[in-house]
Amino acid sequence: MPQIKIYKQDYISTPAGRVWKAFSHNPFALVGLWGVGFLLVLALLAPFIAPYGANEQNQQVLLLPPSWDPAGHVEYFLGTDDLGRDIFSRILHGVQMTFGMSLVIVSCALFFGFIIGAISGMMRGLKSSILGHLLDALLSIPSLLMAILVVAVIGPGLSNVFWAVGIAMVPQFIRTIHQAVHDELQKEYVTAARLDGANDLQILLYVIMPNVWEVLIIQVTMAISAAILDIAALGFLNLGAQAPSPEWGAMVAQGLDNLLLAPWTVTIPGVAILFSVLAVNLVGDGLRSAIAPIRK
């Protein structure tokens, strides 16, 4: 339907526009958004930017401190680890693994969670309640325990992280979407649409969805930050990415051997994790406070 402006009137922005307006007034949230954008760019371009390969060893420069240290060298901006690998390059390569992987996991979890959650949300009665119990049980297995179970079955590796974190995350999405859809379903405007003769699918897509996406976005940002922390934690515990992978958590674990001698091998990957989780959380926080007054 084309918008024809007959009368001169105040432009009333769309809900999304209002959220963006509130969001962009929050400087922290904007910083977070820039951070996330930066990470996204790195995830795509890291292999081209990185000065060295992730596993390129140089025995001439073992445990070189970062460049701001008097003993450091600017060619190895963040120093090197005990095999003479450039930490800066490894961090860049790691963006794809830790941050990129979290995006992949969350998208997959969102996809399945959305389908199951929406269907179950539209359902009522016993089936819905059985599903609820099932979800409660799955939700009560923390992701780390799930990972341990997965590792016990198929052994450690980065692909298992996908399953472990993914399996632990899907129920959260199902639950959020189920709850949101369920809540909206009670409201009168849905009944109105139903009286108009809309079928379940139409109600879900055209009536309910526009009102639950905000919840979904908040859940997604929370899930991404949780996924990054989970991937890194699994890498750290040697249950996820294995050495010599440049996954950040695994890098911390590899640096552990030299914690006392070369603390930067642990500090720098840790800061990278902190930075990305913080960026995602800032965005999530900004979104939440931007959306909150609208939902009230």
User: Site residues (CB under 8 A) for other proteins?
Assistant: 55, 57, 59, 62-63, 82-84, 133-134, 136-145, 148-149, 151-153, 155, 225-226, 229-230, 232-233, 236-239, 242-244, 249, 252, 256-263, 266-267, 269-270, 273-274, 277-278, 281-282, 285
Closest CB 14 distance from other proteins, rounded Å: 27
- Given CA atoms 135, 116, 215, 161 in this order, what sign does their dihedral have? positive
CB of 50 or CB of 262, closer to other proteins: 262
CB of 58 or CB of 202, closer to other proteins: 58
Closest CB 2 distance from other proteins, rounded Å: 43
Alpha helices (H) along the chain:
15-24, 27-49, 87-94, 101-122, 126-139, 143-154, 158-185, 188-195, 200-202, 209-236, 248-255, 264-295
CB of 25 or CB of 45, closer to other proteins: 25
State the Cα–Cα distance between residues 244 and 98, nearest whole angstrom.
14
- Separation in Å, CA 90 to CA 39, 64, 221, 229, 250: 14, 14, 25, 18, 11
Closest CB 255 distance from other proteins, rounded Å: 9
Q: Which of 229, 224, 216 is nearest to 288 (CA)?
A: 216
CB of 80 or CB of 204, closer to other proteins: 80
Closest CB 97 distance from other proteins, rounded Å: 15
Closest CB 36 distance from other proteins, rounded Å: 13
In one letter, which amino acid is 24?
Answer: S
State the Cα–Cα distance between residues 177 and 170, nearest whole angstrom.
11
CB of 147 or CB of 216, closer to other proteins: 147
